[in-house]
Amino acid sequence: MAVLEEMERINRELDEWRDKAHRLAQAERRREQLQTRLAETERRIVKLEVELDMEKEDVEKLLRLSWTNLFHTLLRSKEEQLELERQEALAVSLKLQEARREAEELKRELAEVGSELRAVAGADNTYRELMARKERLLRESGTPAAEQLLELDRRMEQSGGRLKELKEALDAARRLGHALRDAAESLGKAKNWGTYDMLGGGMIATSIKRSHMDEANTHIHNAQHLLHRLRKELEDVHISEDLQLDTGGFSHFADYFFDGLIADWIVQGRITGSLEQVERQASQLRTLERRLSEEVQRLEQETAAVRREREKLLESH
């Protein structure tokens, strides 16, 4: 009986340090992913800064070269070309702003991960020491009940760990679903106002359409961020290869909005295309949520059954 009581005491400590060790492993993986993404984003910022300088220089050249100005004036295309150059510079500028905002968010997340790592530092070592102490206790006791209890604890640890990761993946999927629904709502409004704008709605219609486009862009940016989180959570539960979640188009959404500023008649088609893509992503995500929810429910039942078996064993000794 003394062996079982000591086991219970160790198990209480293990529950605490197992969770901390899990958080430590997650934070370390998250830090590595964020560092990789930040490096990529900073390289993109440098590239866009160079591109923006070149676009600005093109505008300056058009304004500065008198013979070129004369040539374009005679052809009645000077203003058109100058406007095109300005719009291209604007498109690059907006992409640069988006990249800088993403870099700031990644730095903020890295700071949060750093705090988490400090909070659970050494948790993996403490957990291993407790497990080693528990194993020594069981080996020394040699009782059938202790060996049976060890096997039940092993099963609970396996199912409990996977259950925790599945719930985290399900939560990430639900967060992404909310972002996609918000994006779809804003895109739908932008599409409706865009139709009115194309029919001669005037400056007010244009302003409202652009406002909804800005909202949609913010939601899509959030969805991109949440999609990275979901991918990481799915990798943790080793089911990503079984999913059919199409994510290829997300990286181009920002381009749709920024480059779409060049010509309003192009924007409407791109709004429609983006809306259709968001709706497809949302539909696929709902299928994923159902699968994760079913797996969570199955594991909860399995864990509860093992816990009842363990309680019966402890009560009988």
Together in a domain, 86 and 127: yes
Q: What angle do CA 157, 163, 169 make, to 5 degrees?
A: 140
Q: What is the pLDDT of residues 3-51, one digit of tens each?
A: 677 878 888 888 888 889 888 988 998 898 899 989 999 998 998 888 8
Provide the pLDDT confidence category of residue 120 given band limits of 50, 70 and 90.
very high
Distance CA(228)–CA(305), nearest Å, equals 34
- pLDDT confidence bin for 121, thresholds 50/70/90: very high
Q: Are residues 137 and 171 in the same domain?
A: no
Domain boundary among 109, 142, 175: 142
Residue 159 tokens, joined: 């199912």
* Any domain includes 156: no
Q: What number is the average pLDDT over the span 123-146?
A: 78
Instruction: Tell whether 183 and 92 lie within a shared domain.
Output: no
Question: Is residue 309 located within the same domain as residue 217?
Answer: yes
CATH code of the domain containing 12? 1.10.287
Q: Domain check: are 209 and 169 in the same one?
A: yes
Based on the fold, state whether residues 173 and 311 are members of the same structural domain: yes
| Choice between 270 and 107, residue whose per-residue pLDDT is larger | 107
In a domain, 154, yes or no: no
Residues 93 and 193 reside in one and the same domain: no
Question: Would 155 be classed as within a structural domain?
Answer: no
Q: 184 in a domain, yes or no?
A: yes
Mean pLDDT of 203-215: 76
Domain boundary among 142, 174, 206: 142
Q: Are residues 229 and 294 in the same domain?
A: yes
Structure tokens at 48: 């866009």
What's the confidence (pLDDT) of residue 132? 79
Cα–Cα distance list, 44 to 32, 49, 187 (Å): 19, 9, 27
- What's the 3-state SS for the chain? CHHHHHHHHHHHHHHHHHHHHHHHHHHHHHHHHHHHHHHHHHHHHHHHHHHHHHHHHHHHHHHHCHHHHHHHHHCCCHHHHHHHHHHHHHHHHHHHHHHHHHHHHHHHHHHHHHHHHHHCCCHHHHHHHHHHHHHHHHHHHCCHHHHHHHHHHHHHHHHHHHHHHHHHHHHHHHHHHHHHHHHHHHHHHHHHHHHHHHCCCHHHHHHHHHHHHHHHHHHHHHHHHHHHHHHHHHHHCCCHHHCCCCCHHHHHHHHHHHHHHHCHHHHHHHHHHHHHHHHHHHHHHHHHHHHHHHHHHHHHHHHHHHHHHHHHHHHCC
In this structure, are 195 and 135 located in the same domain? no
Confidence of residue 83 (pLDDT cuts 50, 70, 90): low
**What domain count does the chain have?**
2
Listed in sequence order, the residues at least 6 apart from 6 whose beta carbon sits closer than 8 Å to its beta carbon are 137
Residue 21: partners with Cβ closer than 8 Å, 6 or more residues away: 120, 123, 124, 126, 127
14 lies in some domain: yes
25 with 134, same domain: the answer is: yes
Angstrom CA distances, 296 to 162, 163, 283, 302, stand at: 9, 6, 20, 10
Please, what is the average pLDDT of the chain? 77
- Nearest CA to 79 among 59, 52, 55? 59
Same domain, 113 and 187: no
pLDDT of 155 strictly over 90: no
Question: Cα separation of 6 and 229, whole Å?
Answer: 40
- Are residues 62 and 210 located together in one domain of the fold? no
Structural domain harbouring 295: 165-317
Residue 70 has pLDDT above 60, yes or no: no
149 lies in some domain: no
